[in-house]
Amino acid sequence: MGASVGTSPHSPLPDDWQPSATLERLRQRARLLARVRTFFSDRGVLEVETPSLSASAASDPQLHSLGVEEPLFGAGRYYLQTSPESAMKRLLAAGSGPIYQLGRAFRGGECGTWHNPEFTLLEWYRPGWDEHRLASEVLELITTLTGVRHSATRDYRQLFRRRTGLDAQNAPLPALREAASAIESALGAESDRSTLLDFLFTTRVVPLLSRCRGTVLVHGFPTAQALQATLAEDVDGVPVARRFEVYLGGIELANGYAELRDVTEQRRRFEADLTERRRLGLPEPPLCERQLAALAAGLPEVSGVAVGIDRLVALALGERAIAPVMAFGINRA
Amino acid sequence: MVNHSTNEFRPGLKLLLDGDPCSIVENEFVKPGKGQAFNRVRLRNLCNGRIWERTFKSGESLPAADVLEREMSYLYSDTQGWHFMDDSSYEQYCAGEQAVAEVRQWLSGQDRCMVMLWNGEPLSVRAPNFVELEVTQTEPGLRGDTAAGGVKPAELSTGAVVRVPLFIEIGDRLRVDTRTGAYQGRVGKG
């Protein structure tokens, strides 16, 4: 009582203490999160919470895990999780049945209109479902939250061929480099296949997707972009990753897989990631041996997906950035 | 040489790209799926004013462009170019035709301009927002007809032509907005 307001004698007070979002947006966000929980409880999917801090980290060279010192265990280094994937797969192997998680994920260095290093990720798994059935459920959830309907389902290879004239799975590296160089000479010169695909998809295909009013489901990814998806052959006998993505307004909202269950293949991909990290001079964090042990013990056939909740809330409320739907973006955190 | 990584990119940062100094207009971080992150950048080429749309892998670096802006007084022009003097160091600089292309029609003696220097050479010149110039040529004034609100062209001492009210006469001094070329008012009568 009686203390003067905002006149610290020590240092000028920062003027950015206020939230990034309006209070009205935060109320709307809370209602949308409640609807997510209802969506899953109505369907008998169990809500779980797995650790944000883990002794292992994602191997993917494109993901930067943030490390944390934990004094309890000597000089133990823990990592803020880039997604709850490993832990949730361990629950699935333990017989959890269908599960979902609505929690925080952390990805270092990712900051921009549609990125924040700390963000809210919705991830769920459906044992016994293939990726197409799961993709339909993703579209249903998006319609429930945003009112936006599904407008198209597209095959990655066909989209890519239409926009670049090249076969994403089989085109020789020099042809991909030439196509990328025509847009940005330096990028075409030394990039690997996956980077070239990312670049051409981002610059040539995504602008096309952004013209659709509804959601666009893209499936059948090239095997260079399989990540943790199983491989299969498409109708032409061409190898393909059983992975899908959902776009709305040109923004990627969901990324899902028919999950890889083969422990030998999973270890091979982890090791390949570490080799790539070494080549790029990136840190090589400890692999999740417990996830491998869970696969060895037996993962049911399962499809899983991750949805960026900040983006979904932003698009549902007509925003064109995530900061206006976050209490505090990283620059105010 | 100083380099700037993509995570330092922000509007106004000056970079050297394909040999030309550029200023970042807009920087967007894009990352497909769990794939390669890129920065999609809009830059203004400071040599010719053109806008470039470029894409870089996140984490890449570009050399900084040694570009700075100084307030200078315009002195005179001759066959070599347009001469300016830094008011603090008294150092003189000569700007070429391209650097003054957009402002030369407003330059008269002692105007305080912002001169952008790249490696110590004038790259572009910004005229003061408002200048006062004398009318050297215009049709005779139509006295008593000011209410009609008509306009006519008037040539100024620097060669610029602006649209002025009908009552303006040769010898009048006018205040002009150099950003739009719009007449602002009469500040002296001829």
Q: Do B154 and B170 belong to one domain? A: yes
Nearest CA in chain A to B5: A109
The complex's ipTM works out to 0.82
Nearest CA in chain A to B62: A186
Radius of gyration of chain A (CA): 21
Number of domains in chain B: 3
Q: Provide, as residue numbers in chain B, all residues whose Cβ is less than 8 Å from the Cβ of A199.
A: 36, 38, 55
The CATH number linked to B99 is 2.40.50.140
Nearest CA in chain B to A224: B35
Q: Do B71 and B59 belong to one domain? A: no
Q: Quick check: B174 and B157 in contact, CB under 8 A?
A: no
Q: How far apart are CA A80 and CA A68, in angstroms?
A: 7
> What value does the mean pLDDT of chain B take?
90
Q: Do B75 and B49 belong to one domain? A: no
Is A206 in a helix, a strand, or coil?
helix
Domain boundary residue, one of B126, B146, B161: B126
Per-residue confidence band for B102, with pLDDT thresholds at 50, 70 and 90: confident
How far does the CA of residue A87 sit from the closest CA of chain B (Å)?
18
Q: How far apart are CA A88 and CA A101, in angstroms?
A: 9
A110, A191, A252 member nearest B33 (Cβ): A252
* pLDDT attached to residue B144: 54
Q: Do B38 and B81 belong to one domain? A: no
Q: What is the dihedral of CA A95, A96, A100, A104, to 10 degrees?
A: -90
Reported as type and span, the H/E element at residue B165 is: strand B161-165
Domain boundary residue, one of B110, B126, B142: B126
From A248, A219, A241, A250, select the one nearest A156 (Cα to Cα). Answer: A219
The CATH number linked to B44 is 2.30.30.30
Per-residue confidence band for B32, with pLDDT thresholds at 50, 70 and 90: confident
Between chains, do A113 and B28 touch, taking CB under 8 Å as contact?
A: yes
Apex CA A71: angle with CA A68 and CA A72, to 5°? Answer: 120
Evaluated on CA atoms A259, A232, B33, B62, the torsion sign reads positive
Contacts of B84 (CB under 8 A, 6+ apart): B72, B73, B74, B75, B92, B93, B94, B95, B113, B115, B122, B125
Q: Do B98 and B53 belong to one domain? A: no
* pLDDT attached to residue A75: 59
Contacts of A249 (CB under 8 A, 6+ apart): A210, A315
From A115, A122, A135, select the one nearest A83 (Cα to Cα). Answer: A122
Nearest CA in chain B to A60: B34
| B56 contact A CB<8A | yes
- Identify the segments of chain A with pLDDT beneath 70: 1-9, 73-75
Amino acid identity for residue A130 in this structure: D
Q: Do B161 and B173 belong to one domain? A: yes
Domain boundary residue, one of B63, B86, B106: B63
**B-contacting residues in A 167-186 (Cβ below 8 Å):** 183-184, 186
- Domain span holding position B79: 67-126
Mutate to test the interface with B, among A111, A181, A202, A203 (most CBs of B within 10 A): A202
* pLDDT attached to residue A3: 47
Between chains, do B29 and A227 touch, taking CB under 8 Å as contact?
A: no
Q: How far apart are CA A260 and CA A68, in angstroms?
A: 29
Q: Which domains does chain A have, with CATH numbers?
A: 23-149+214-332 (3.30.930.10)
* pLDDT attached to residue A37: 98
* pLDDT attached to residue A1: 46
